[in-house]
Amino acid sequence: MSYEFWNVEVQDGISIAALNTGPMNYMTGPALGEFKDIITSWRDPSVRVGVITGDVPEKYITHYSVEELVVMGDDPALLATSGPDLIYPYHLLLQSLTKLPKPIIAAMSGDTMGCGLELSLNCDIRIAQRGDYVIGFPEVALGILTGTGSQLLARSIGQGPALDFMLRSRTVSPEGALALGIVHELADSARARAIEVAAGMVRQSPVSLAAAKRSIWEGANLPLAEGLRIEAEEWLKTIVTDVAMEKMRDYVATPFADRNEWVRRNGVPPEAGAAKGA
């Protein structure tokens, strides 16, 4: 399927969706509508990993179109009645990324603010491209509030840092975003690195990837007993698969001295020195 605002290509089980809405690469209502269709297409089992990036140099998803927001705000009475029909479906759309039973990677290739950062915080892995651009939530400076950003940011970096970030309308460099834990690693090319990471995930068991994702997204903010229940459910799904038995038997057949190397060889190695703690 072709789209007006997204360039989508699929290679070796990896689907790459790149936004292109013009020079500033703003998210718009029509582009969000197309993105909903892209998410639906990612439910196909042939898609093992999804990658989201920008198709405009030095722009990822700059933010939502403020021009559209001004038009909405010019009719307060209409917005008061139609607003819930806009914001709550937006929540569900972004949250649907977390419910896909496969990894979704944000390849942040340039300016990432507002909607762009909200979307990325619903992705499983965030890779920021090195460069002279900003990542953040400037909404308070515009007299508004993020649509989902306050909740997502607090759950990602903690309540105190999130309050400081939101109340001061902070935007930071890619390095600053890495230091705060907003992104997981930096790369010279976010898209190329995302594809490299995705290729490593394609080699993993899709059942165990889906299990790990659900265990964390659904379980991490629940009371411990409830989170452990979800993790137990997912563990039971993984342990009975042929892939699990094959991999575990191969590991057991490996000499003790070589087992750490087996884990490194069969995992998805980080880019040297890019992520915190690497």
The catalytic site residues sit at 118, 139
Measured CA to CA in angstroms, residue 242 lies from 238, 255, 265 at distances of 9, 22, 20
For the chain, give percent helix, strand, coil, nearest 5. 55, 15, 30
**Residue 17, beta-bridge partner list:** 8, 52
Spatial distance between the Cα atoms of 117 and 170, rounded to a whole number of angstroms = 12
Spatial distance between the Cα atoms of 146 and 160, rounded to a whole number of angstroms = 17
Q: Give the strand order in the sheet containing 171-172.
A: 59-61, 111-113, 135-136, 171-172
Alpha helices in 100-148 (DSSP H): 115-121
Judged by phi (left if over 0) then psi (alpha if -120 to 50, else beta), residue 21 lies in alpha
The answer to whether 52 and 119 have CB atoms below 8 angstroms apart is: yes
Spatial distance between the Cα atoms of 65 and 55, rounded to a whole number of angstroms = 17
Instruction: Tell me the DSSP string of 25-56.
Output: --B-HHHHHHHHHHHHHTTSTT--EEEEEESB
